[in-house]
Amino acid sequence: MPLMTGEQYIESLRKLNTQVYLFGKKEPNWIDHPIIRPSINCLAMTYDLAHDPEYADLMTATSSLTGRTINRFCHLHMSTDDLIKKIKMQRLLGQKTASCFQRCVGMDAFNAVFSTTFECDEKYGTHYHENFKKYLTYVQDNDLTIDGAMTDPKGDRGKTHRDQPDPDLFVRIVEKRPDGIVVRGAKAHQTGSINSHEHLVMPTQAVAEGDKAYAVCFAAPSDAPGLFMIYGRQASDTRKLEPGADIDLGNKKFGGQEALVVFDNVFIPNDRIFLCEEADYAAMLVERFAGYHRQSYGGCKVGVGDVIIGAAALAAEYNGAQKASHVKDKLIEMTHLNETLYSCGIACSCEGCATKAGNFQIDLLLANVCKQNVTRFPYEIVRLAEDIAGGLMVTMPSEQDFKSDLKVPTASNFSLGEWCDKFFAGAEGVTTENRMRVLRFLENICLGSSAVGYRTESMHGAGSPQAQRIMIARQGNIEGKKELAKVIAGIKE
Ligand code: SF4
Ligand code: FE
């Protein structure tokens, strides 16, 4: 089964015995749950688009491991061209879903684990790279979705691994056996974790030699004994439970998903271990995964930005304000910001280079600059979108009022729906429903459930702003720049 369809992907999830908790209860049919389903539909798009001949060049690739055609989300980037196509694929999916489509974390983890295990084996004579190649071949051949799991709960941020009052606040090895290891802990805010087939777990930060039980990388299926997940709720998520909800959802079909993934003494067999106490390789793995994921944001958020800009332009038209020069200028500003993010994504891809293992890595400095901009520009883009949309975006009555034929006993004897239609009309020739639809979309993306993916994830996903600033400081070569200045200024020290 080299390339699954979206439907086959959804059916494949049903075969797993994934343990999901939501609103204080275990949710046996989480796949069809109205709150969770949009995130599954969204991920299914990564499968469906791979079957569309128009997008085959972006959505599929030839496996460097087997020579077979695979979904690009399972691919090791073997050139800068692959890195560029990755960004273009993510922009495309952002445009088609206006959400976080979740599958990138696995792709970014594959590429980071592939190159790090190679270098770790080189130093220690371990066998992690072979383990990982076998594992990735299995993933590619079965077209699986993998949660690239990095972020630990971390407890007291002022304390490192060993100083935490609760040792489980970082994932760690609690037992070593001849046939494998037992791990314990959790990964927080895991994008797409519930609808992933497996989890590829990495350390969350550099690990000191004395904390080596925390230097662990492994893969576990979503239904491994001892593994369960608690779904992360989103703003306005219960709107999805309203009977017949459509317009009020803003984006009815697609959404993102995050969850807490708990490992309560999960057994990992030897062939699924990719790092086991080699503390000095934890930082390399973290840096590389974070670099790839910071590149990713120069694609996915740009695609979503395209939809937001389009919606803002439509809102202006439906309000009859499209000719106002300030509106035109705001759309130009939004486009400028969005394309700047794309430029960063493309630039760090073009400047990529081969790792020792042979796959390609992005330029780390430019990828961190990319993500740093993503922590800011989407906020400005939604500010401008809200400005253009107008206050009605957050004050209009519900879809049920618009659809109601309940007569209001006043002189006109209009129904509730007729009153809404009359007073929320915009530009001539535009239906009130269409005006409402575009405003609800903007509400959803600016401050509803989709704001998780577009705003706060832009801030904290792939590392919070300060994490990028640390990398920019490390990679920025201030010493080299001082030398440049000395030469020009004629300074001899
Ligand atoms: Fe992919 Fe973007 Fe979601 Fe990360 S935030 S998983 S890069 S869509
Ligand atoms: Fe993310």
DSSP 145-184: -EEEE-----SSTTS-GGG-SSGGGS-EEEEEETTEEEEE
Distance between Cα 467 and ligand 2 center (Å)? 14
Question: Residue 454 is part of a domain; what is its CATH number?
Answer: 1.20.140.10
Same domain, 270 and 305: no
* pLDDT at residue number 1: 57
157 Cα to the center of ligand 1, angstroms: 25
pLDDT score for 267? 98
Q: Which residues are catalytic?
A: 100, 104, 191, 258, 293, 297, 300, 457
Angstrom distances, CA of residue 69 to CA of 103, 140, 200, 396: 18, 9, 22, 49
Closest CA to 331 of 311, 348, 352, 349: 311
Instruction: Encode pLDDT of 159-176 as tens digits.
Output: 999 999 999 999 999 999
Does 185 map to a domain?
yes
- At which of 281, 312, 341 does a domain end? 281
Distance CA 403, CA 408 (A): 14
Q: Are strands 360-361 and 353-354 parallel, antiparallel or unpaired?
A: antiparallel
Tally Cβ neighbours within 10 Å of residue 160.
17
Q: How far does the centroid of ligand 1 lie from the alpha carbon of residue 448, in Å?
A: 18
Residue 490 lies in a domain: no
387: Cα separation from own chain's centroid? 27
Q: Is the CB of 300 under 6 A from ligand 1?
A: yes
Quick one: 242 and 326 in the same domain? no
Do 274 and 301 reside in the same domain of the chain?
Answer: no
The pLDDT tens digits of the residues spanning 301-341 come to 999 999 999 999 999 999 999 999 999 999 999 999 999 99
Q: Could you tell me if 274 and 131 are in contact, meaning their C-beta atoms sit under 8 angstroms apart?
A: yes
With a 6 A CB cut-off, is 63 part of the ligand 1 pocket? Answer: no
Q: Give how far Cα 306 sits from Cα of 98, 209, 300, 335, Å.
A: 9, 46, 10, 8
What is the β-pairing status of strands 146-149 and 198-201?
parallel
Q: Which atom of ligand 1 is closest in space to residue 192's alpha carbon?
A: 6
End-to-end CA distance of the chain: 66
Q: Mean of the pLDDT values across residues 255-282?
A: 98
Q: Which of 248, 281, 314 is the last residue of a domain?
A: 281
Residue whose entry in the numeric block shows the structure tokens 């952002």? 94
- CA dist 359 and 235 (Å) reads 39
The rounded distance, in Å, linking the Cα atoms of 8 and 34 is: 19
267 Cβ contact list (under 8 Å, min separation 6): 177, 180, 181, 182, 224, 225, 226
Average predicted confidence (pLDDT) for the chain:
97
Q: Are residues 151 and 193 in the same domain?
A: yes
pLDDT number for residue 153: 97
Q: Is residue 380 part of a domain?
A: yes
Question: Which ligand 1 atom sits closest to the C-alpha of 462?
Answer: 4
Average pLDDT estimate for 375-381? 98
Neighbouring C-beta atoms of residue 353, cutoff 10 Å? 10
Structure confidence at residue 2 as a pLDDT band (50, 70, 90)? confident
d(CA 9, CA 51): 13
Q: Say yes or no: CB of residue 190 within 6 Å of ligand 1.
A: no
Burial 229-250 (b: 16+ CB within 10 A, else e): bbbbebebbebbeeeebebbbb
Question: Does some domain include residue 489?
Answer: no
Distance (Å) from CA 74 to ligand 2 centroid: 17
- Asked if residues 61 and 72 have their Cβ atoms less than 8 Å apart, the reply is yes
Report DSSP letters for 335-403, one per residue. HHHHHHHHHHHHHHHHT-EE-TTS-EE--HHHHHHHHHHHTTHHHHHHHHHHHHH-THHHHSPPHHHHH
Count of structural domains within the chain: 2
Beta pairing, strands 198-201 & 172-177: unpaired
SS3 assignment, position 300: helix
d(CA 69, CA 61): 6
Q: Ligand 1 pocket, 50 CB below 6 A?
A: no
Which atom, in ligand 1's list, is nearest to the CA of 99? 8
Question: Which token pair is 154?
Answer: 């971390």
Say yes or no: 225 and 244 in one domain.
yes
- Say if residue 63 is in the same domain as residue 202: yes
**Which residues fall inside 5 Å of ion ligand 2, going by CB?**
191, 461
Q: Are strands 227-231 and 258-269 parallel, antiparallel or unpaired?
A: antiparallel
Ligand nearest to the CA of 150: 2
Q: Is 357 exposed, middle or buried (0-12, 13-18, 19+ CB in 10 A)?
A: buried
Task: Pick the closest to residue 146 from 261, 1, 251 (CA basis).
Answer: 261
Q: What is the mean pLDDT of residues 88-94?
A: 98
Is 180 a member of any domain? yes
Residue 325 and residue 203 share a domain:
no
Domain boundary among 234, 249, 281: 281
Smallest CA separation from ligand 1 atom 2, residue: 300
153 lies in the same domain as 118: yes
Which of 83, 91, 105, when mutated, tests ligand 1's pocket best, judged by the most ligand atoms within 8 Å of its CB?
A: 105
- Check residue 332 and give its pLDDT: 98
Q: How confident is the model at residue 53 (pLDDT cuts 50, 70, 90)?
A: very high
Sort residue 363 into left (φ over 0), alpha (ψ -120 to 50) or beta.
beta
pTM for the complete prediction? 0.98
DSSP per-residue string spanning 236-253? TGGGGGSTT--GGGSSSS
Distance CA 450, CA 458 (A): 12
pLDDT, tens only, 352-361:
999 999 999 9
**Cβ 227 vs Cβ 19: under 8 Å:** yes
CATH number assigned to the domain comprising residue 44:
2.40.110.10
Q: Which domain holds residue 207?
A: 6-281
Same domain, 104 and 90: yes
Does 75 map to a domain? yes
- Do 213 and 185 lie in one domain? The reply is yes
Pocket test residue of 145, 293, 349 for ligand 1, highest count of atoms within 8 A of CB: 293
Q: Is residue 493 part of a domain?
A: no
Q: Are 344 and 240 in the same domain?
A: no
pLDDT 10s digits, 102-155: 999 999 999 999 999 999 999 999 999 999 999 999 999 999 999 999 999 999
CA of 102 to the centre of ligand 2 (A): 7
**Which residue's CA is the nearest one to ligand 1's atom 1?**
104
* Same domain for 113 and 59: yes
- Furthest-apart CA atoms within the chain: distance in Å: 90
Span from the CA of 456 to the centroid of ligand 2 (angstroms):
10
Residue 488 lies inside a defined structural domain of this protein: no
For residue 254, the ligand closest to its alpha carbon is 1
